[in-house]
Amino acid sequence: MKRWLVTGGVGFIGSHLCRALLERGDAVRILDDFSDAPYPTALKRANQAALSRDFTTVEVVEGCVTNKELATRLTLESDAVIHLAGLAGVRPSFAAPAHYAAVNVEGTANLLDAAQRAGHDLFVFASSSSVYGNATPLPAIEDSPAIVPESPYAASKRSAELIASAMLRRTPRMRCAALRFFTVYGPRQRPEMAITTFLRAVLAGTPITVFGDGSMRRDFTHVEDIVRGILATTERAPEGFRAYNLGSGAPITLTDLVTAMGKAAQAIPAVVHGAVPLGDVDATFADITRAREELGWTPRVRLDAGLATVVAWLRAEG
């Protein structure tokens, strides 16, 4: 049994991961600041309540990853860190670029520094497919330059990777993995994300707003596969810094996504089109060769089955 410190553990991905760790008998301490955006505080409180109800051993500490003293204390009391906390969202990052940099870059540096000083041999953290931008040839591979971010959010995630890579020179035998998530969806997803927003509209019989002409492509990855990928990383990541794509490897256009959602909801979606927001990329498409070969991980959840889990969740919510 390991003692895990999971930052962002009552968020979307974090709550699913913590449940998986607790179900197998590991000890979990969560650090989360319960901020309201982009993942609403009310959903975080609900996730916390569900975890505490089902697992009496889980501990939740309210605080921010930029608090160095707190990060140091909690890291010393754990065996390994899975760092999922951070500010997400391309569009909101243009309104608060300094805040994104502080939380995503400084927060990662704080935790990794604390883990190094505590003698941890494992540090896993959430990066993003956004680091690739529009300049990277697709399908994107981890060794692509990724030097033209399209948003402050993307820049903060790439910066976190770079500072982690540099910091590993101090502890080269530490296992440090940056997981580049590709458009994660599933029950309890952030409410403003496309699949949740679109399916709510389809079930309510209201129009979906599709940005652009519907040809934008996204590599959608179910949260169950992401959790499996994180767990595989904790077990099999090599020494040193290593980035991994966790995606479906099968991008779909927004037009085809709308069609698939209509089938999942057994309804005919009404569609209107809007301008492409600042910072959105034309396509995401993961090359998952490295994760398959080094972590033994491949995605299992097909899009139709994944959409069905979201429909069931939304209907249960009422």
Q: Which residue has the tokens 């959409």?
A: 307
- Spatial separation of the C-alpha atoms in residues 103 and 92, rounded to whole Å: 14
Amino acid in the structure at residue 3: R
Is 162 within 8 Å of 154 (Cβ atoms)? Answer: no
Q: Which of 88, 15, 94, 83 is nearest to 52 (CA)?
A: 15
**Residue 146 zone, left/alpha/beta (φ > 0; ψ -120 to 50; rest):** left
Residue 88 tokens, joined: 């997400």
Question: In Å, how far are 98, 130, 271 from 255, measured between CA atoms?
Answer: 35, 21, 9
Q: Which of 132, 153, 185, 244 is catalytic?
A: 153
Determine whether 153 is an active site residue.
yes
- Spatial separation of the C-alpha atoms in residues 54 and 207, rounded to whole Å: 38
Residue 296 tokens, joined: 């033994």
Residues catalogued as catalytic: 153
